[in-house]
Amino acid sequence: MLTAQQIAAYRRDGYSFPHRALSEAELSECRDGLARYEAWLGKPVNQGDWRWRSAAYAFLPWLDRLIRHPAILDAVEDLVGRDILVFTTTFFIKEAHSPTFAAWHQDATYFGIEPYEHVTAWVALTDATEEAGCMEVVPERGRPRQLHHGALGLKDSINGGGQAVVEEFDRSGSVMMAVPAGSFSLHHTLCTHRSAPNRAAHRRVGIGISYIPAHCRITSDVRMRVPLVRGRNSGGHFDILPPPSEGEFHPTAIARHEEAYRLYRENYAAQIEKHDREYGATPAGQRSLDPNLYLVGRGGYGAHAEPGG
């Protein structure tokens, strides 16, 4: 559970960290589960098809247990209430000494969730240090707002759209959100954040769990299938995806994942179009963003190839 001070700080700034969740045994279970998953894929998750990075709780019982972990859910409940759905999960993996990064962005942009109450619990399976490319966040200061983004397809981006903020915004007072293995951070859907390449000698492994209160809805015509992890589906805006009771990698569970992921991507594509209609097309000049401002981080991280480079 969060303290009153932690809740107030989250409401003001849009983030909170670190919070301990996993025991050593639970952390080992997650790491072993990831190893089995990558053996099944025949490659690292982050080098496979994008669909294997998202919503894998549909066929991985260990990941389904993680999204229902009481320590994480207790903290999320303090922020969004008792009735909780998981919109999706994403593996955020950076290999040691890799160029993988995330440009400045907001999670809300291409999810299309209303109202803006989505909170991400970012669970570290290995140490997410500054050297390893942890998240850097900008405090909302009680004034969150949606920024103009472009789905730029940035080379080496850890995000599916390779997206980036394409308007000026106040980046002062940014905070490096380092999270040790077994702990998690929380950030609001409008919290602007980025992460640098991994300069460490170890693999940075994180899982982003996107929690939403059950009264939320998405603004597209897509009706998604998502897990109910606490309380009841009080809003009725989503169909409920059952746990993978058949076991790991079961064909029936894989088929449910394929359908759930298809719906997720349909909504994602619709939200890109909707955002471009509302904010206008990305200016041509933003195809070559200044990496020192928009991409890999503050001085000392090194330059990153510009889009397409």
CB 196 within 8 A of CB 212: no
pLDDT of residue 298: 29
DSSP the chain: ---HHHHHHHHHHSEEEEEE---HHHHHHHHHHHHHHHHHHTS-GGGS-GGGGB-GGGT-HHHHHHHT-HHHHHHHHHHH-S-EEEEEEEEEEE-TTB--BEEEE-GGGGT-EESS--EEEEEESS-B-TTTT-EEE---TT---PPPEEE---TTBSSTT-EEE-S----TT-EEE-B-TTEEEEEETT--EEE--B-SSS-EEEEEEEEEETT-EESSS---EE-EEES---S--SEEPPP-TT-TT-HHHHHHHHHHHHHHHHHHHHHHHHHHHHH-SPPGGGGG--HHHHSS-STTS---PPTT-
pLDDT of residue 284: 52
Task: Summarize pLDDT for 201-239 with one digit per residue, the tens.
Answer: 999 999 999 999 999 999 999 999 999 999 999 999 999
Rounded to 5°, angle at Cα 172 from 210 and 124: 30
Residue of 305, 87, 45 lying closest to 216 (CA atoms): 87
Q: Please give the structure tokens belonging to residue 79.
A: 């922020």
pLDDT of residue 283: 58
Identity of residue 34? L
pTM greater than the 0.85 cutoff: yes
CB 95 within 8 A of CB 198: yes
pLDDT of residue 282: 64
Taking 50 as the pLDDT cut, the residues of the chain under it are: 285-309
C-alpha to C-alpha distance for 22 and 166, rounded to whole angstroms: 37
pLDDT of residue 300: 27
2.60.120.620, 1.20.120.330, 3.50.50.60, 3.40.1390.10: which CATH number matches 4-294? Answer: 2.60.120.620
What angle do the packed helices 70-80 and 4-13 form, to 10 degrees?
Answer: 60
- Cis before 243 (ω within 30): no
pLDDT of residue 155: 86
Kindly give the pairing relationship between strand 193-195 and strand 135-137: antiparallel
